[in-house]
Amino acid sequence: MSEIKELKEQLFLTKKNGRLVEDDVVLAKADEYCEGYKAFLDVAKTEREAVCEAVKMAENCGFVPFEIGKTYNAGDKVYFNNRGKTVAFAVIGKDAVENGTNITAAHIDSPRLDLKPNPLYEDSDLALFKTHYYGGIRKYQWTVTPLALHGVFALRDGRVIDVSLGEKDDEPKFVIGDLLPHLAREQDKRTLHDGIKGEELNVLVGSHPFKDDEGSELVKLNILKLLNEKYGITEGDFLSAELTMVPAYKACDIGFDRSLIGAYGQDDRVCAYPALTAILDIDMPEKTAIAILADKEEIGSCGNTGLQSDFLRFVIGDLAKMQGGDATVALRNSKCLSADVNAALDPTFPDVMERKNASFVNYGVVVTKYTGAGGKSSTSDASAEYTAEIMGLLDKAGIVWQTGELGRVDAGGGGTVAKYIANMGVDVIDLGVPVLSMHAPFETTAKFDVYMCYRAMYEFMK
């Protein structure tokens, strides 16, 4: 080897496609792992459904609801269900909770179209729903694509009626219209941002008039009659409902080589599923392991099911107090992986990235030291010490990883739950899967990266 080549190998930082680094056994494991992930995506399209499915999986692995006043020992598995929208799973460690916990925190809400409180109307003999989008969406992406209705009617007599319609092959679906190109001359002059406006995201839900009567709003009347027969509800019950439109299609493989996954809601179920399956695989950790799957990240982690609430603080407090320990000390000694996605470089749109600091599909799990916008505004910038500690952990476990910034400086920006967990005095850094077309109704990830995310979550909590 020439001296220069030797020096280069010794001194340069080199980044390699993970699929070239790993052997066939690992790649086969990644493919197999992602079959479970795709199945999870199909049954967990909302935070409520994700909590339901996660609890079901956890109970099968011996997790029980945490009860205040009960004592749990090392290896015991408990969970805290916050209003069916956020859930924390914990495996009690050999060491005292007061000496710190290892937390993985992902979110299970995704951008979507919520129905307005009074959504149903009739116009020009068609029945439609008014929507109010949730999270950061590019509105034009949500038209002319099949949608499914998910959520609950909560009735004033206390009953809660689950709704899921449009997922099965034989179920009807819904759709938002758009103009034909022939008549779009004026609309085409709009900016992409206003190509479809918020109040134009109206969902077509029916067209048959109710025949046995005459008068106005017969299509709307017929829809209400059908809804009354199916769910026992009247129009006033929409006022208290939580209903949302999500893409109706299922997760699938992408590419001739099947190396990628295309699906709705991968931000952030692509990290939530690894965090969940990792804690399900943990038996007797040194430190108490906690995996939290949170709601409301996409709208700022607000509300009593978001991570700006005291829920996680209370969880750690309950666990510490159960051992006669102090909650504040436990928090101060705790460490966290904020398990969230980063934007992968898309070769069609490389200009929003700075290549040396962008993340790439198939290059492994992404460590993101900071997110934010502009001059690192509104981010928890992980300390050098903690960043090095996590990188060391990944190296030691032989996990393929990369670093990433959220785009070129001043291209835009964003954030994760990291800053809210940091506010509690916990050491935290973002670690997750690179995603193509993030926040689109159909997002793409690489199976290899998903598996590396699982391995990272496991190594951190074990």
Q: Quote the tokens at residue 84.
A: 């069916």
Q: Interface with Mn ion by CB under 5 A: which range of 55-63, 160-168, 218-226, 268-276?
A: 268-276
When the beta carbons of 115 and 137 are compared against Mn ion, the nearer one is 137
Pairing of strands 160-165, 175-176: unpaired
- Our finding on whether 267 is near Mn ion (CB under 5 A) is yes
- Our finding on whether 109 is near Mn ion (CB under 5 A) is no
Q: How big is the site for Mn ion, counted in residues (CB under 5 A)?
A: 3
When the beta carbons of 275 and 320 are compared against Mn ion, the nearer one is 275
Q: Interface with Mn ion by CB under 5 A: which range of 58-66, 166-174, 265-273, 324-332?
A: 265-273
Question: From the CB of 164, what's the least distance to Mn ion, in Å?
Answer: 23
Neighbours of 459 (CB within 10 A): 16
Question: From the CB of 15, what's the least distance to Mn ion, in Å?
Answer: 23
Q: Interface with Mn ion by CB under 5 A: which range of 9-17, 233-241, 335-343, 370-378?
A: 335-343
Question: From the CB of 107, what's the least distance to Mn ion, in Å?
Answer: 6
Q: Binder to Mn ion among 242, 340, 405, 430 (CB under 5 A)?
A: 340
Question: From the CB of 223, what's the least distance to Mn ion, in Å?
Answer: 33
Q: Quote the tokens at residue 149.
A: 């209705």
Pairing of strands 147-154, 126-134: unpaired
Q: What angle do CA 277, 426, 409 make, to 5 degrees?
A: 85
Question: From the CB of 280, what's the least distance to Mn ion, in Å?
Answer: 22
Q: Binder to Mn ion among 53, 268, 427, 430 (CB under 5 A)?
A: 268
Q: Interface with Mn ion by CB under 5 A: which range of 45-53, 261-269, 351-359, 423-431?
A: 261-269
Q: Interface with Mn ion by CB under 5 A: which range of 201-209, 267-275, 322-330, 367-375?
A: 267-275
For residue 121, list its beta bridge partners: 128
When the beta carbons of 152 and 343 are compared against Mn ion, the nearer one is 343
- Our finding on whether 295 is near Mn ion (CB under 5 A) is no
Question: From the CB of 232, what's the least distance to Mn ion, in Å?
Answer: 35
Question: From the CB of 226, what's the least distance to Mn ion, in Å?
Answer: 35
When the beta carbons of 267 and 427 are compared against Mn ion, the nearer one is 267
d(CA 218, CA 225): 10
Question: From the CB of 134, what's the least distance to Mn ion, in Å?
Answer: 11
When the beta carbons of 34 and 293 are compared against Mn ion, the nearer one is 293
Q: Quote the tokens at residue 428.
A: 């935290």
Question: From the CB of 108, what's the least distance to Mn ion, in Å?
Answer: 10
Question: From the CB of 269, what's the least distance to Mn ion, in Å?
Answer: 10
When the beta carbons of 53 and 297 are compared against Mn ion, the nearer one is 297
Q: Quote the tokens at residue 322.
A: 């159960």
When the beta carbons of 152 and 367 are compared against Mn ion, the nearer one is 367
When the beta carbons of 98 and 268 are compared against Mn ion, the nearer one is 268
Q: Interface with Mn ion by CB under 5 A: which range of 193-201, 252-260, 334-342, 396-404?
A: 334-342
When the beta carbons of 49 and 268 are compared against Mn ion, the nearer one is 268
Question: From the CB of 439, what's the least distance to Mn ion, in Å?
Answer: 6
Residue nearest to Mn ion according to CB distances in the complex: 268
3-state secondary structure the chain: CCHHHHHHHHHCCCCCCHHHHCCHHHHHHHHHHHHHHHHHHHHCCCHHHHHHHHHHHHHHCCCEECCCCCCCCCCCEEEEEECCCEEEEEECCCCCHHHCEEEEEEECCCCEEEEEEEEEEEECCEEEEEEEEECCCCHHHHCCCCEEEEEEEECCCCCEEEEEECCCCCCCCEEECCCCHHHCCCHHHCCHHHCCCHHHCCEEEECCCCCCCCCCCHHHHHHHHHHHHHHCCCHHHHHHCEEEEEECCCCEEECCCCCEEEECCHHHHHHHHHHHHHHHCCCCCCCEEEEEEECCHHHCCCCCCCCCCCHHHHHHHHHHHHCCCCHHHHHHCCEEEECCCEEECCCCCHHHCCHHHCECCCCCEEEECCCEECCCECCCCCCHHHHHHHHHHHHHCCCCEEECCCCCCCCCEECCCHHHHHCCCCEEEEEECEEECCCCCCEEEEHHHHHHHHHHHHHHHC
Q: Interface with Mn ion by CB under 5 A: which range of 95-103, 213-221, 254-262, 264-272?
A: 264-272
Q: Interface with Mn ion by CB under 5 A: which range of 50-58, 76-84, 256-264, 337-345?
A: 337-345
When the beta carbons of 47 and 267 are compared against Mn ion, the nearer one is 267
Per CB under 5 A, residues contacting Mn ion are 267-268, 340
